[in-house]
Amino acid sequence: MRPAPSDFIRHLTRRPVAIFGGGVSGQGVRALLAKLGSPDGVTYDAKTAPTREFDSAFAAQHGLVVFSPGFAPNHPWLVTARAAGLECLSELDFASLFWRGQVVAITGTNGKTTLTEFLAHALRATGHEARAVGNIGYPFSQFVADADGVTLGAADKIAVCEISSFQAETLRHLRVKATLWTNFAEDHLERHLDLESYFAAKWPLVACTAPGAFFAGDSVQRFAKTIGRPLPERAAVATENQPGDPGLVDTIFATYPQRENFILAAAGWKETGLVVADLYAAARTFRLGRHRLAKIAVCGGVTYWNDSKATNFHAVEAAIAGFDAPVILIAGGKAKGGDIGAFARRIAPRVRHACLIGETAPDLAGALAPIAAAHTRCASLAEAVRLATSLAVPGGNVLLSPGFASFDQFRNYEDRGDQFERLVAQLSEGRGAVAIPR
């Protein structure tokens, strides 16, 4: 049995806490420490000034390290900290020590943000006090700091927590009422050595989850079988190629890929004894967040779509599969590992012309050229939008669905999507464009 959080922290915070990472996760940790009345933390971040290179001399000043998801388990600073005998906790694990409410965990290669937001929406619609937290930009530590009381959170409060592989791989203390694992496909191979390592990084969620409350979609089941990892009993949920559901007509969950999210949500909903009709009612009032295959304008009969949140191959393939005819695709960005050649070959039949941007544009061009797929390398997103507009014909679709991270040219995927929307608006002025309300 682990010690009570107060005892655990009292021992480890006699000296200032070392906070690895000065971004939103690190800021959340600092806020939680302040809420707990603990000594100020010391932030170590190689990207900000003053830069502190964490070494054995610094390690001697601390008893606890709390690290952000960007720090891989084998990061040199964590190696140094462990060698010095420091306790090292991820931001998510640290925050979980002080949360007395319930946690529902959402993970998957794609769809997890939408599912997280939808479940929180549905729970609130049925009178529960629920909040979407975690990998959506609102760290669990910040949420706990913002909650009332210490130790924090009444038992009936629910944190619907999106958890990435970066966050899951070092979990030890988090306890979860239910976990929904939407799907599994190639992603984050810039950090994980291979697909099996990527899968294994999410596996600690199994041990964190209450018995009988772990649910996994078809693609997760297939990969688990391939590598010989048995899923928990009753975890399998049939999520692919399911027949239409009349109850979801005129909702975002009527068709794939969002249909998969609703099926997983329903599995968890039923397990916790909630009324399924209430989940359907919530689906009718739920709206997608921005940058998720959103129709943003129609100009000259051409429809423009912002899918900037598509940062991996699987997301792009799911997006283009929903169109009746090949699209003009704007794709490219910062590499995350994976087989770019195979990706290019898979999407080529569904793309009329590819406008390529960012760091991976040369590799994408090199993969598309041998298969005679129409493509152009563009120096900027603005150039790509101009080219796509010139190539588009009435009835066609211009789709920004990059397939890669945004950090080569943009602050984040939101910045990339915002710039795309502004460019489309500027090019559409005076051409009879119809903006789509957000």
3-state secondary structure of 132: strand
Residue 161 sits at the vertex; the CA angle it makes with 260 and 195, to the nearest 5 degrees, is: 60
Which amino acid is located at 420 in the chain?
A: F
Domains and CATH numbers, the chain: 15-92 (3.40.50.720), 98-285 (3.40.1190.10), 294-435 (3.90.190.20)
Give the pLDDT band of residue 3 (cuts 50, 70, 90). very low
Q: What is the pLDDT of residues 334-359, one digit of tens each?
A: 998 889 999 999 999 999 999 999 99
Q: What does the pLDDT average to over 251-266?
A: 94
Q: What is the pTM of this model?
A: 0.85
What kind and span of H or E run contains 28? helix 24-36
Give the pLDDT band of residue 1 (cuts 50, 70, 90). very low
Quickly list H helices, 139-194: 140-146, 165-168
Q: What is the pLDDT of residues 117-134, one digit of tens each?
A: 999 999 999 999 999 999
Neighbours of 11 (CB within 10 A): 12
Cis peptide before 204 (omega within 30 of 0): no
Neighbours of 72 (CB within 10 A): 15
Give the pLDDT band of residue 156 (cuts 50, 70, 90). confident
Whether 317 has a pLDDT exceeding 50, the answer reads yes
Strand ranges in 108-172 using DSSP code E only, listed in sequence order: 130-134, 158-162
90, 208 in Cβ contact below 8 A? Answer: no
Contacts of residues 227-234 at CB distance under 8 Å and 24 or more positions apart, as own/partner, are 227/196, 227/199, 229/199, 229/203, 231/206, 232/206
146, 138 in Cβ contact below 8 A? Answer: no
Q: What's the rounded Cα separation, in Å, for the pair 319 and 317? A: 5
User: How many alpha carbons fall within 13 Å on the CB side of residue 136?
Assistant: 25
Give me the percent of the chain exceeding a pLDDT of 70. 93
In terms of phi and psi (left: phi > 0; alpha: psi -120 to 50; beta: otherwise), the region of 86 is beta
